[in-house]
Amino acid sequence: MFRSTCLLFLLATTVAKGQQPWVFTHGQPGRDALVSDMIWTNNGLVLTCYYADPPFHPPYSGSLIRISSSGSFIDERSLGSTLNHSAPSVVLSGPDQRLHVLGAYSEFPDSLSGFFHYGCSVDGSLEDSSFNIAANARRTLLENATFLDDGSIILGGSLSYEVNGSIKYAQLLKLNNDGQVITDNTFGMSGMHIQYTRDVVPFSDGVLVSFDEWPQPPGLYGRFSSNLDFDAQWYGQAPHYNPLNPLDSIVKGAMTLRPLNDRKYIVGGAFKIPNDQYSSAVYVMDTSGATLKAFVPHSPYYHDHSALQSTIASIDTNTFYFLSWGNISFWGDWIPYEPIEPDVLHVYKMDNDLNVLCDFLLDGFEDSTYYIPVRIKTTPDGGFAIIGGKKDMTDPTSNIVAWVQTFSPNDCTVGIETQEDSRSALVFPNPGSSGFDVLLNGQGLTAGQIVVIDTRGVQVAEGWMEGTTGRVDCSDLPDGLYLYRILDRNGHPYASGRWVKQ
């Protein structure tokens, strides 16, 4: 193995220097780049970044980048310059006053894969390294890791035993401060096409882990002891009146976990509805698998998703930011290969009851940009930062550049649109052929009515709400445009919109 202290100076650009907010971009000529994580130190910020030849595709090479508190580039150190593949994903601040960088790697093109740990000083200087091969694994991925109270690190990995095969197994590792393995747990389900480990957090004297499974019911959650002994698991499912045709729960995206107590937690990610449309969502759930509350942002776009690795950023014990990624549009087999038009990022400040306190929209159509959000982070002043990459859509030959943008707390504002959005309804399928289902944000209605009105203003169908869900049968209606209104038990308007039958 190796230790790298090579200092690289690459193309770096900083816009709007000075106090927050600021924008930082960074790249290598002819290569795509993403910022995968970021942490504040007394001397500024340390970023983890990785590069690939376009279109963005492994193998990756990784680095540590230091920038000032105002977003100015300081220096860059390579990670794994002699490796075939090195993808730093997480940087943590440890109780030992050091930084800990973790990611996936392979030493040679045809070698086994595993996970690495670099111990660094607060200025980003590499002090030690360790490399842990996942037995028989030919491909490994890492999205999140966490510290426990005893000072150990829990790493949540994903792996495949085939060179170009699908990720089918999870590997949890418990590491000491030097990155040496204390214990591990590797598991998967025979015949599963996909099983990704999405997030790991301390929970109920142990660890809570979220897994993305397919084609089995997705949204699998597991509780493990602090020594990674299996305790319990459960599936999470969005509320729906018919369990035979459910929303597919959290099927893709970050599946970021925010524990509330020993039984309840918040999870943010994206779910798929039956017509292959995706939507970002955030749920309050418990360890029985019940969905207690739901918030589903709505937009005019067909595919709304979550950030790639972390879509929730905690502000304090009562509030957090939730990042929704709107209008995902690209060519290729994997995000974010080749975007074909701009997108939008919508940030919501929420409380633990999923009430929207304020929101902010970063509109890529205004500046002809496709944003690729990897994580949302809370800034020291209570604002937020979005990290990842972005592409200039005015230049088809441009590369994806690594990108960080900070926003002050005042950038999140309350308005009529925010208040209406927090009481909106997701209607699907839309267009539909025989009727539509309704999913409400928040706690829903103890009783309510769905009214369907044609273009003449005549009521032509009705249905009923039960909690957050409801359905209307429109099989006897002719094709065309209809309006729907959702009324509470007193007949007061709750939400409204358009539905198309075709």
104 within some domain: no
Is pLDDT above 70 for 253? yes
Q: What is the mean pLDDT of the chain?
A: 84
Residue 1 has pLDDT above 60, yes or no: no
Is residue 417's pLDDT more than 50?
no
Asked whether residue 454 is domain-assigned, the answer is: yes
pLDDT at 188 over 80: yes
Mean pLDDT of 365-369: 88
Residue type, position 480, single letter: G
Compute how many other C-beta atoms are within 10 angstroms of the C-beta atom of residue 326. 24
Q: How far is CA 475 from each of CA 62, 193, 478, rounded to the nearest angstrom?
A: 55, 36, 8
Q: Assess whether pLDDT exceeds 90 at residue 256.
A: yes
Q: Could you read off the pLDDT of 443-498 as tens digits, one per residue?
A: 556 678 899 988 777 889 999 887 777 889 999 999 988 888 888 776 767 777 77
Does residue 434 lie in a domain region?
Answer: yes
| 240 pLDDT above the threshold of 90 | no
pLDDT digits (tens, 9 = 90+) for 7-62: 333 344 444 333 579 999 999 999 999 999 999 998 899 999 999 988 887 889 99
259: tokens are 């524990």
Side chain identity at 37, as an amino acid letter? D
CB 280 within 8 A of CB 253: yes
For residue 430, is it within any domain?
yes
Domain that holds residue 444: 425-501
pTM metric for this prediction: 0.81
Question: What is the average per-residue pLDDT within 217-235?
Answer: 91
Q: What are phi and psi of 104, to 5 degrees?
A: -105, 155
pLDDT over 90 at 432, yes or no: no
What CATH number did the domain enclosing 484 receive? 2.60.40.1220
- Tell whether 10 is covered by a domain: no
**Domain-located, residue 98:** no
Q: Give the residue-averaged pLDDT of 59-78.
A: 94
Q: Is 447 part of a structural domain of the chain?
A: yes
User: What are the respective helix, strand and coil percentages of the chain, to the nearest 5?
Assistant: 5, 60, 40
Q: Is the torsion defined by CA of 396, 398, 399, 400 positive or negative? A: negative
Indicate if the pLDDT at residue 418 is higher than 50.
no
Which position has the token pair 């190796």? 2
- DSSP annotation of 70 reads T
> 353 φ, ψ to 5°?
-90, 10
Tell me what pLDDT residue 331 has. Answer: 47
Of the pLDDT bands very low, low, confident and very high (cuts 50, 70, 90), residue 266 is very high
Residue 289 half-sphere exposure, CB side, CA atoms within 13 Å? 13
| Number of alpha helices (DSSP H) and beta strands (DSSP E) in the chain | 2, 40
- Does a structural domain hold residue 487? yes
Q: What's the pLDDT at 385?
A: 97
Q: How many domains does the chain have?
A: 1
3-state secondary structure of 54: coil
Tokens of 19: 């106090």
Stretch 253-265: mean pLDDT: 92
Residue 97's pLDDT is 87
